[in-house]
Amino acid sequence: MTVASSSRAEHVPVLIDEVIAALGIHDGETVVDGTFGAGGYTRAMLRAGAGRVIAFDRDPDAIDEGRSLVPDPKLTLVNERFSQMDRVLEERGIGTIDAIALDIGVSSMQLDRADRGFSFSADGPLDMRMEQSGLSAADFLNQADEAEIARVLREYGEEPRARAIARAIVAARPVERTAELAAVVRRAAGFRPGQKSDPATRTFQAIRIHLNAELDELEQGLEAAERALKPGGRLAVVTFHSLEDRIVKRFFRERSGGTPAGSRHRPVLADPNEPTFERVAKPVSPTERELAANPRSRSARLRSAVRTPAQAWKGGVQ
């Protein structure tokens, strides 16, 4: 996620200094920006001395605009999910990678464009599709049954009023605009102006995560990064809510040999896999200065680790 400055071409990503420090880029190294967005991390990688940056983004708008945002011959833009990075790199004859950065979730570029439907700060069509194809948010809300909508809100938004909100959405159909959905959610949740948090935030997050299969993408992307990194390679991941952070925390814990011990009620089977990551850093959060400049960064958390020479695990995140 990024915050726009006075120039549309300049975006400052969340925790940028901390991410670049965790990546430890040396001159001439080949690195991956798994979530290009508006190119903020990529520019910083190039300034840090990267000899080549391969940047992925599933959003075709990001790739199309990236050619002018970061006009550098050392940059290769790829319109693909970051979970496919190891396959794409192999197909292009690119060897293992020195460093990888992943900035999970929706980008400021997507949030700030009302026509993409990711935010209720300005009215727009209920879309929320990162790849601009497949089922839209309006399609889902107008076709799914009440139980399915409630499940999505509860599972991906951690919404305590999921059933009441789902019932209200079904009663209000058809729901086609972001402002319509926000109003329905607020009424169902008993929202009053001036309350600290807007309940529509959780609903929008849940629907977006569901439509774009973001948690599955994150799990698969971590495994792809594990396969793509060379021994000594660095992986830095920035998340924006507890569901994402939990996945990254568990991945690094397991892959560094830190799987919790069992008990007599739930024994842990011997793990034949060797640790694939080491030097797992403590999580890093934004400074007060960054929070003041970019309130959207308030929930951001950076986790990073270094790849060992061990063979990549064949199983998924346990």
Does the structural domain 2-109+214-307 have CATH classification 3.40.50.150?
yes
Give the span between the Cα atoms of 19 and 41, in whole angstroms: 8
* Radius of gyration of the chain, Cα coordinates, nearest whole angstrom: 20
Give the span between the Cα atoms of 56 and 180, in whole angstroms: 33
Q: In the numeric block, which tokens belong to residue 167?
A: 């019932």
Give the span between the Cα atoms of 283 and 245, in whole angstroms: 10
Domain parsing of the chain, residue ranges: 2-109+214-307, 132-211
Q: What is the pTM (predicted TM-score) of this model?
A: 0.90
List the one residue out of 237, 124, 234 whose CA is nearest residue 177.
124
CATH classification of 132-211, choosing from 1.10.150.170, 3.40.228.10, 1.10.10.10, 3.40.1160.10? 1.10.150.170
Torsion of CA 41, 107, 102, 314, to 10 degrees: -150
Please say whether the dihedral angle defined by the alpha carbons of residues 155, 238, 280 and 313, taken in this order, is positive or negative. positive
HEC profile for the chain? Answer: CEEECCCCCCEEECCHHHHHHHHCCCCCCEEEECCCCCCHHHHHHHHCCCCEEEEECCCHHHHHHHHHHCCCCCEEEECCCHHHHHHHHHHCCCCCEEEEEEECCCCHHHHCCHHHCCCCCCCCECCCCCCCCCCCHHHHHHHCCHHHHHHHHHHHHCCCCHHHHHHHHHHHCCCCEHHHHHHHHHHHHCCCCCCCCCCHHHHHHHHHHHHCCHHHHHHHHHHHHHHHEEEEEEEEEEECCHHHHHHHHHHHHHHCCCCCCCCCCCCCCCCCCCCCEECCCCCECCCHHHHHHCHHHHHCEEEEEEECCCCCCCCCCC
pLDDT in tens, the chain (318 residues): 543 333 344 567 899 999 999 999 999 999 999 999 989 999 999 999 999 999 999 999 999 999 888 899 999 999 999 999 999 999 999 989 999 999 997 877 777 788 898 999 899 999 999 999 999 999 999 999 999 999 999 999 999 999 999 999 999 999 999 999 999 999 999 988 878 889 999 999 999 999 999 999 999 999 999 999 999 999 999 999 999 999 999 999 999 998 654 445 455 555 568 999 999 999 999 999 998 888 878 889 999 999 999 999 986 544
Please say whether the dihedral angle defined by the alpha carbons of residues 77, 83, 88 and 89, taken in this order, is positive or negative. positive
